[in-house]
Chain A
Amino acid sequence: MRLAGKGLIDRSTPVTFTFDGRSYQGYRGDTLASALLANDVRLVGRSFKYHRPRGILTAGSEEPNAMVEILEGNQQTPNVRATVQEVFDGLQARSQNRFPSLKFDLLGINNLAAPFLSAGFYYKTFMWPRPFWEKLYEPLIRRAAGLGSLSGRHDEAQYEKAWAFCDLLVIGSGPAGLMAAWTAAQAGADVILAEEDARMGGRLVSDNLRVDGQPGADWVEALLDDLKAMPNVRLMPRTTVTGAYDDGTYGALERVGLHRAPAPHLPRECFWRIVAGQTVLAAGALERPIAFPDNDRPGIMLASALRSYLHRYGVVPGNRITLIANNDAARATARDLMAAGVKVVAILDTRPDATALEDCPVYLNAQITGTAGHLGLTAITFRHAGGTATLETDCLAMSGGWNPTVHLTCHMNGRPLWREDIAAFIPAEGAVPRLTPAGACNGTFSTAGAFRDGLAAAHTALAALGRPAPDMALPMAEDAPYTITPFWQTPGVEGRQWLDFANDVTTKDVKLSAQENFRSVEHMKRYTTQGMAPDQGKNSNVAALAVLADATGRGIPQTGTTTFRPPFVPTSIAAMGAGGRGAGFAPQRFLTSDQASRDRGAPMIEAGLWYRPSYFPKPGEKTWLEACNREVTMVRESVGVSDVSTLGKIDIQGRDAARFLDLVYTNTFSTLPVGRVRYGLMLREDGHVLDDGTTARLAEHRYLMTTTTAAAGLVMRHLDFVHQAFCADWDVRFLSVTEAWAQFAIAGPRARDLLATLLGAAPDLPFMGVTDVSLGSTPARLFRISFSGEEGYELAVPTRYGEALFRDLVARAETMGGGPYGMEALNVLRIEKGFITHAEIHGRTTAFDIGMEKMVSAKKDCIGKAAAARPGMIGPDREQLVGLRASSAMTAGAHLFTPGDKVHRETDQGYITSVCWSPTLSAHLALAFVKDGRARHGTRIRVVDHLRKIDVLAEITDPVFHDKEGAKLRA
């Protein structure tokens, strides 16, 4: 029911929303919870395990019951807390975990079966027979117990990630947070004030408080106006700080677009990483429920929530309200209600010694023994100092005291301390470096106390930041002491007393846990699932461990708490992974020939981050293999052009450049003549092959190293390490020039003819030579190297000319019966020639394995040399590189067995790394590693791939199938 004239909602802006298909009206400034209560909707959900009818318990993000699905186009967001979701025109919400409807839920049968479903039930009951667990029990349990559901469609919505830096981060905008932010802002510090709620002010806008003689909300509004005008203050409403991390880093989740209809490019949420010099934690406190039989009926809520609905939203959730408390909270709530003209049936004070003087009946030493009302509270039964009684009531507000919101102070291993006088945990000192707790989260519960705490925390932060503190007057506010007599549960009664509403855990479950010797608080948590629901035990932890402490005869400090871990509130993976959808966060690297290749219909494949053409289809070709075969034959018989710019290129200079290369390569580069190119092999320090490639000597003290595409970054890091760790004083400098040059392979018997048309004369360049050439006025470099086995050249130009050169080369090739070739053909050409890639040098192969042990120079040291000579790195037991030839297809990953042997792990002889159909040899070829393979050329081996149903015989051969003598290369 909405009260006229009360609340901070915008009554000039009514909004229409739906809940379970029915249309309701609320106002801008309402949450879904306040708007539903205003419409007298009390039943909003079904509980997780027993499908009990549940209503709204809180007015904040800790809500354990009122979780709904929000529908938005194709989107369906489950487990949205109705107490956080703001209403807007067109909002569609739906209750969850019920079938077929909220009021009539068939799975409510679970509730009747409750005696059998107590804590630990699943572990004990569904043990046997074993296969039933996966196939029967678990699916059944998952359907019955649960929360909301997903749409099953991709989340197409927008999310955002961002960084922020500040001198002072203030978490929470209640009196402590506002005071801290205001003080630091006055001192000139760069301040971020993050507030979970849409509206700043904390209890100042939810309670009937006065500050400096004004209503709290007005005072807050005036202060916020001042803060907004300051360039050094950033206000971040709707932003929950979710985690405290090392070195002043915080995670925070901002609800950017969840409170309004979607708009293009407007993110639903933004995940912030905030780096703060200092932090003031002013996160407030969370009120505790009290356990008594059937304390979970719709209509039973926290006293502080009731006050929030009353003062902030102008809503009262019942006509006949009763209160129960173990502290003074009920008194203030009752007075507020009566002042608003709401009927207060009675105050039940669990304390025997409190005053009974109020304008309504007060029962002392009161303990609720039962409640009634199927889908909503109708009555309570209780005992008290004077006997027992039953009262008709449709709303019961409870306060079991306050838990300071210490969560963030526990994120870095801090253990909170028990304070007996307030019966609550407070943050340990220095739990998070550079963070000062203030106000209610530090156990200071009065408004004036919060202001004092906030000011003091700001002083601490400013001193650490080296800024003088400004003179600030403390606002005048109530300073009532907080007195509490702990009361956790009604003793000695039948019936289920709920602790964890979200996970359906009762006091009995906790006692059972202790009885079964799961006495540690961490064991109890896992045994009962208490604290494992979306609210992470915010409503139940302290009460549960009080019950556990009682059951085990220990005190609360000895029992301790479970560990609070980030995130503080449920955080969507979509927000944390913003930018990762679709092409994702991996940069896309495009060749200069990209458009030219796509123009020819080439499908692109990813190679590292690069996009390279797979093949260039011609009219009439139906499969990639047809195109690939044609391109291979084209290179073998005329000329092909391929973009090889993706290979890593490193410019290495200095008087010690040669010496440096001799250290990182197994073979010697100091002896390489200027103008020549040499193949080089690089090892890791553990003796395995790191990478291979050609390196050209461009001048006496200048080399150009080539790396494989995949390992370009890895090699650069390795070179940096070797240089900085072992020879930082050498005269050597190197830098990647991969991006500076576009480089194209021109391969085939007519490659020289093609270059003759381009350069005006056939190049006179020996195999493994390099020279500077000019293309018009464009300087270029010509290498005579080959990865195909044919006479091959690579022509490099500054990148800006890449596209033009590629188009030119392809056009020239086509006049000669040639054309472009893609990655598929490139792979076949190299397999035919026995050239290795990272399929072969995959991190577990040595120079010996690939038949290159002679390339490890005996005359000098190099990285990896000592380790490569260790026992086990060389010899007949090693799997050695061989070729395989077969008449039917083989697969990479297939394992090899000696014909006649049983096929199992013990007889495994090796595995295949690369395969192709060779149009040149009309055979299926493979590169493989086989035990003692070099001694087995000419013998047969069995190829088995169970996964792809391959079982064929192949002949072991030399890995070089094509032109073993290299006559074509040197032509």
Chain B
Amino acid sequence: MPELIAKSALAGHAPVTRLQTTLAEGSAAPITSVAPYPGRMDRVNAALAPLGLAFPAPNGQTRQGAARLIWTGRDQAFLIGAPAPDGLADHAALTDQTDGWAILTLTGPVAEATLMRPVPLDLRLGAFPPLRTVRAPLNHMQAILTRTAPDAFEIMVFRSMARTAWGELTEALEVLAARAQTA
């Protein structure tokens, strides 16, 4: 059996830049879903302590070095960039999600304006500061949206929908560029 060749969700999609804002495929591995069982939060946090992480509050994340734990829904967070620590599986359901998500990054001065086309959320900096992570629709796709910096976002969508997400964000960027040209 020869080794199978891995392919990323958006292999072959070169970054797109308009108005100094770049859409690109991001990467994050491994991704492990951490879903604490009822009443086990203390022990989950104890197990997470060696990573310097704690289970995040809704719409938030905790991070330490390359490891981060982002809130992704009811009783659920994704541990990204570090393997699950020992003992965590005793108190939380752990599920490998590394291959389940396509990751897109959008960075630049019109990143927020671009997302205000497909995302029905208040993304103004004051309402949606850096390191905020939410579950939100990207048009009709379920997405996990994180502001990584004032002008940068990370967007995770189901892997099979990567091309649609890419297409719709590219389109939004093109439209903003066309608007800017005629302003």
A–B proximity contact (CB within 8 A): yes
- Nearest-CB distance from A167 to chain B (Å)? 10
Known: A739-B99, A739-B160. A801 touches B1 (CB 8 A): no
Our pick among B6, B38, B96, B165 for the contact of A801 (Cβ within 8 Å) is B6
* Chain A residues, CB < 8 A from B4: 775-776, 778, 797, 801, 804-805, 808
* Chain B residues, CB < 8 A from A729: 38
Known: A273-B120, A739-B101, A740-B99. A266 touches B179 (CB 8 A): yes
- Nearest-CB distance from A189 to chain B (Å)? 12
Which one of A360-368, A515-523, A563-571, A730-738 is at the interface? A730-738
B20 within 8 A of A: no
- Nearest-CB distance from B35 to chain A (Å)? 4
B95/A800 in contact, CB under 8 A: no
B2/A163 in contact, CB under 8 A: no
- Bound state CA distance, A797 and B1, in angstroms? 14
Which residue in chain A gives the minimum CB-CB distance to B75?
A733
A493 within 8 A of B: no
Which residue in chain A gives the minimum CB-CB distance to B37?
A731
Our pick among B127, B160, B178 for the contact of A591 (Cβ within 8 Å) is B160
- Bound state CA distance, A805 and B4, in angstroms? 7
A740/B96 in contact, CB under 8 A: yes
B45 within 8 A of A: no
Which residue in chain B gives the minimum CB-CB distance to A159?
B175
Which residue in chain A gives the minimum CB-CB distance to B181?
A263
- Nearest-CB distance from B80 to chain A (Å)? 14
B163/A654 in contact, CB under 8 A: no
Our pick among A158, A260, A589, A731 for the contact of B161 (Cβ within 8 Å) is A589
Known: A654-B37, A733-B93, A777-B3. A267 touches B160 (CB 8 A): no
Which one of A118-126, A169-177, A473-481, A580-588 is at the interface? A580-588
A610 within 8 A of B: yes
Residues 25-48 of B, flagged 1 when their CB comes within 8 A of A and 0 if not, give 000000001010110000000000
B119/A163 in contact, CB under 8 A: yes
B164/A735 in contact, CB under 8 A: no
B122/A165 in contact, CB under 8 A: yes
B97 within 8 A of A: yes
Residues 159-183 of B, flagged 1 when their CB comes within 8 A of A and 0 if not, give 1111111001001001101110110
* Chain A residues, CB < 8 A from B177: 265
A161 within 8 A of B: yes
- Nearest-CB distance from A853 to chain B (Å)? 34
- Bound state CA distance, A775 and B7, in angstroms? 16
Residues 789-823 of A, flagged 1 when their CB comes within 8 A of B and 0 if not, give 00000000111111111001000000000000000
B8/A730 in contact, CB under 8 A: no
B63 within 8 A of A: no
B17 within 8 A of A: no
B121/A800 in contact, CB under 8 A: no
B116/A162 in contact, CB under 8 A: yes
- Bound state CA distance, A803 and B8, in angstroms? 11
B139/A740 in contact, CB under 8 A: no
Which one of B33, B127, B159 has the greatest number of beta carbons of chain A within 10 Å? B159
Known: A165-B124, A654-B37, A805-B4. A588 touches B99 (CB 8 A): no
* Chain B residues, CB < 8 A from A610: 160
* Chain B residues, CB < 8 A from A257: 182
Our pick among A160, A164, A585 for the contact of B175 (Cβ within 8 Å) is A160
State the main secondary structure of chain A at its contact with B: mixed
Which residue in chain A gives the minimum CB-CB distance to B102?
A739
A651 within 8 A of B: yes
Residues 102-135 of B, flagged 1 when their CB comes within 8 A of A and 0 if not, give 0000000000000011011111100100000000
Our pick among B38, B92, B179 for the contact of A256 (Cβ within 8 Å) is B179
- Bound state CA distance, A802 and B8, in angstroms? 10
Which residue in chain B gives the minimum CB-CB distance to A701?
B93
B76 within 8 A of A: yes
A106 within 8 A of B: no
Known: A592-B7, A735-B76. A587 touches B161 (CB 8 A): yes
B99/A800 in contact, CB under 8 A: yes
- Nearest-CB distance from B149 to chain A (Å)? 18
- Bound state CA distance, A592 and B97, in angstroms? 16
A735/B35 in contact, CB under 8 A: yes
B1/A759 in contact, CB under 8 A: yes
- Bound state CA distance, A521 and B92, in angstroms? 65
B62 within 8 A of A: no
A275 within 8 A of B: yes
* Chain A residues, CB < 8 A from B162: 590
- Bound state CA distance, A801 and B9, in angstroms? 11
* Chain B residues, CB < 8 A from A163: 116-117, 119-121
B148 within 8 A of A: no
B152 within 8 A of A: no
- Bound state CA distance, A461 and B66, in angstroms? 45
Using a CB-CB cutoff of 8 Å, which residues 749-795 of chain A contact chain B? Answer: 758-760, 775-778
* Chain B residues, CB < 8 A from A322: none
- Bound state CA distance, A937 and B115, in angstroms? 60
* Chain A residues, CB < 8 A from B178: 263-267
Known: A264-B178, A739-B100, A740-B96. A589 touches B160 (CB 8 A): yes
A799/B99 in contact, CB under 8 A: yes
* Chain A residues, CB < 8 A from B174: 264-265
B98 within 8 A of A: yes
- Bound state CA distance, A776 and B1, in angstroms? 6
Our pick among B33, B92, B96, B117 for the contact of A161 (Cβ within 8 Å) is B117
Our pick among A579, A798, A808 for the contact of B139 (Cβ within 8 Å) is A579
Which one of A165, A273, A730 has the greatest number of beta carbons of chain B within 10 Å? A165
* Chain B residues, CB < 8 A from A586: 140
A287 within 8 A of B: no
- Nearest-CB distance from B6 to chain A (Å)? 4
B140/A654 in contact, CB under 8 A: no
A190 within 8 A of B: yes
- Bound state CA distance, A740 and B119, in angstroms? 24
* Chain A residues, CB < 8 A from B76: 733, 735
Our pick among A728, A778, A804 for the contact of B7 (Cβ within 8 Å) is A804
A799/B182 in contact, CB under 8 A: no
Known: A265-B174, A590-B160, A798-B98. A190 touches B6 (CB 8 A): no
B5 within 8 A of A: yes
Using a CB-CB cutoff of 8 Å, which residues 516-559 of chain A contact chain B? Answer: none
- Bound state CA distance, A733 and B97, in angstroms? 15
A588/B161 in contact, CB under 8 A: yes
B95/A735 in contact, CB under 8 A: yes
- Nearest-CB distance from A726 to chain B (Å)? 14
* Chain A residues, CB < 8 A from B124: 165, 190
* Chain B residues, CB < 8 A from A263: 178, 181-182
- Nearest-CB distance from A731 to chain B (Å)? 5
B16 within 8 A of A: no
Residues 79-98 of B, flagged 1 when their CB comes within 8 A of A and 0 if not, give 00000000000001111111
B5/A799 in contact, CB under 8 A: no
* Chain B residues, CB < 8 A from A162: 116-117
- Nearest-CB distance from A165 to chain B (Å)? 4
- Bound state CA distance, A654 and B39, in angstroms? 13
B3/A799 in contact, CB under 8 A: no
- Nearest-CB distance from A589 to chain B (Å)? 4
Known: A579-B139, A740-B98, A776-B4. A267 touches B175 (CB 8 A): yes
- Bound state CA distance, A157 and B14, in angstroms? 27
B164/A778 in contact, CB under 8 A: no
Known: A160-B175, A589-B158, A739-B100. A651 touches B95 (CB 8 A): yes
| Listed A/B pairs (14) with beta-carbon separation below 8 Å | A163-B120, A260-B182, A263-B182, A266-B181, A267-B179, A588-B163, A654-B93, A729-B38, A733-B92, A735-B35, A740-B98, A778-B3, A800-B99, A808-B2
Given A653-B95, A735-B35, 4 new contacts (CB under 8 A): A165-B123, A266-B175, A736-B100, A801-B4
7 interchain residue pairs of minimum CB distance: A733-B93, A653-B93, A799-B99, A265-B178, A733-B35, A589-B160, A740-B100
Contact surface of A with B, Cβ cutoff 8 Å: 158, 160-165, 190, 256-257, 260, 263-267, 273, 275, 579, 585-592, 609-610, 651, 653-655, 724, 728-731, 733-741, 758-760, 775-778, 797-805, 808
